[in-house]
Structure 1
Amino acid sequence: MTARLDEARAVDVKSRSRICDEVSDALLAAGTVPPFEVRSADLVNDPYFICADRYWRSRFQQQPTVRTALECARWMTDHVRDESWGVVAEQWALGNGFLNRASADPERRVAEEAEEAGTGRDAERISLFLSLYHAGKLRANFSFDELHAFLAFSPSAVAAGSLRDEHSVFGALQAFAAFGSRTLTVAYASELLEQAWSSPRRTRHTVDICLHGLAFAPPFDGQGQLLRGHAEEAVQEYPDDHMFRARLAAGLHLCGQHTEALQSIDTALALLAASPTASLSVLQDQYLTKRDAIQEGRLRALQDAEQQRRWEEQSAANAQLERALHTSSVRAVEVVAVFTAAIAFAVGSLQVTLTGKIPLTDRLWLLAAQGAGLALFALLIVGGTWLITRSHHPRGRRTE
Structure 2
Amino acid sequence: MIEAELASLVAASTPGTRELERECDAFARHYLSQGVEPQFDVASSNFVSDPFLICADRYWNLRFTAAPTLATAVECAGWATERIENAHRQPILEKWAIGYAFITRGTVESLPEIADATADIIANDDSDCSRAYFATMYHAGKLRANLSFDELSQFLESSPLATAAGAHREAPIFVALRSFAGFGSRRITTEYAMSLFEKSWTAPDRTHASVDIALHALEAAVPFDEQGTLLRAKAAEAIAEHPDNCLFHFRLALGAFLCDDHDAALTSIDDALRLLPATGWRSSHGLLSEQFLQVRRSILLARSDARRVTEQQRRLDRHEQAVAETAELARRSVIRAVELVAVFAAVIAFAVGSLNVTLNNNLDLASRLWLLVLFGGGLLVFALLIIGGTWWLTRSSAHRRRE
TM-score, normalized by the shorter chain, greater than 0.5: yes
Matched-pair contact (CA < 8 Å) for 2:357–2:372: yes
Residue type of the alignment partner of 1:164: R
Which segment drifts farther, 205-214 or 269-278? 269-278
Does 2:39 correspond to 1:35? Answer: yes
How big is the shift at 1:286? 0.6
* Superposition deviation, residue 45 in structure 1: 1.1
Letter in 2 for 1:362: S
**1:2 corresponding residue in structure 2:** 3
Q: Is the 8 A contact 1:69 1:130 kept in 2?
A: yes
Residue of structure 2 in register with 1:236 after alignment? 240
| Alignment-derived partner of residue 341 in structure 1 | 346
Equivalence for 1:48: 52
Separation of aligned partners in 1, 2:114 and 2:342:
96
Partner of 1:24: 28
Of the candidates 366, 380, 402, which is equivalent to residue 375 of structure 1? 380
User: Which residue of the partner structure matches residue 312 of structure 1?
Assistant: 317
Among 325, 330, 334, the alignment partner of 1:329 is: 334
The answer to whether the 8 A contact 1:252-1:260 is kept is: yes
Alpha-carbon distance in structure 2 between the residues aligned to 1:276 and 1:64: 19
Tell me the CA shift for residue 113 of structure 1.
2.2
Between 1:7-16 and 1:219-228, the stretch displaced more is 7-16
Q: Which stretch shows the higher mean deviation, 221-230 or 101-110?
A: 101-110
Indicate whether 1:219 and 2:219 are aligned. no
Q: Does 1:357 align with 2:362?
A: yes
Name the structure 1 match of 2:150.
145
- The CA deviation at 1:238 is 0.9
SS at match of 1:116: helix
Structure 2 gap ranges (5+):
none
Check conservation: 1:231, 1:244, Cα contact below 8 A.
yes
- Asked whether 1:57 is paired with 2:61, we answer yes
Q: What does 1:63-142 correspond to in 2, within 5 Å?
A: 63-117=67-121, 118=123, 122=127, 124-142=129-147
After superposition, give the CA deviation of every residue in 1:18-72 in whole Å (9 maximum; x if it has no partner): 2211110000000001121222221101111111111111011111111111221
Q: Helix, strand or coil: the match of 1:390?
A: helix
Q: Under a length normalisation based on structure 1, what TM-score does the superposition of the two structures give? A: 0.95
Contact 2:41 2:84 (8 Å CA) reproduced: yes
Task: Give the secondary-structure state (helix, strand or coil) at the position aligned to 2:27.
Answer: helix
2:290 corresponds to 1:285: yes
Q: Please, what TM-score do these two structures have when normalized by structure 2?
A: 0.94
Question: Do 1:107 and 1:154's aligned partners in 2 also have CA atoms closer than 8 Å?
Answer: no
Distance 1:111 1:76, change over 3 A: farther
Aligned-partner Cα distance in 1 for 2:279–2:247 = 11
Letter of the aligned partner of 1:144 in structure 2?
Answer: F
Query: What does 1:285-304 correspond to in 2, within 5 Å?
Result: 285-304=290-309
1:168 aligns with 2:172: yes
In 2 relative to 1, CA 303–249 (structure 1 residues): closer, same or farther, beyond 3 Å? same
Aligned length: 397
Q: Which residue identity lines up with residue 239 of structure 1 in the other structure?
A: P
Distance in 1, Cα, partners of 2:235 & 2:65: 32
After superposition, what is the alpha-carbon deviation per residue over 1:365-395, rounded to whole angstroms, capped at 9, x for unaligned?
1111111111111111111112212124446
Could you tell me whether the CA contact under 8 Å between 1:258 and 1:297 is conserved in 2? yes
Change (3 A) 1:193 1:182: same
1:116-174 per-residue CA deviation (whole Å, 9 max, x = no partner) reads 23377545111111111111110011101111111111111111111111x20111111
Note if contact 2:3-2:39 (Cα within 8 Å) is conserved in structure 1: no
CA contact (8 A) 2:273 2:292 kept: yes
Q: Distance in 1 between matches of 2:67 and 2:278?
A: 31
Runs of 4+ in 1 over 6 A off after TM superposition: 395-398
Cα distance change, pair 379–81 in 1 and its aligned pair in 2 (3 A)? same
Alpha carbons 1:352, 1:367 under 8 Å: kept: yes
Using the TM superposition, give the Cα deviation of residue 187 of structure 1 relative to its aligned residue in structure 2, in angstroms: 1.8
Match of 1:157 among 148, 155, 162: 162
Check the 8 A contact 1:56/1:72 in 2, yes or no: yes
Q: Distance between the aligned counterparts of 2:36 and 2:124, measured in 1? A: 27
Aligned partner letter, 1:103: T
* 1:255 alignment partner, one of 235, 259, 263: 259
**Partners in 1 of 2:293 and 2:70 — Cα distance?**
34
More deviation, 300-309/31-40:
31-40
Conserved in 1, the CA contact under 8 Å of 2:276 and 2:285?
yes
Provide Cα deviations, 1:309-356, integer angstroms capped at 9, x if missing partner: 101111111111111111112222221111111111111111111111
Question: Is the CA contact (8 Å cut-off) linking 1:8 and 1:15 kept in structure 2?
Answer: no
Q: Name stretches of at least 5 consecutive residues in structure 1 with no aligned partner.
A: none
Is 1:188 matched up with 2:183?
Answer: no
Bigger mean CA offset, 80-89 vs 135-144:
80-89
Match of 1:387 among 364, 386, 392: 392
- What is the distance in 2 between the residues matched to 1:328 and 1:126? 90
Greater alpha carbon shift after TM alignment, 277-286 vs 199-208? 277-286
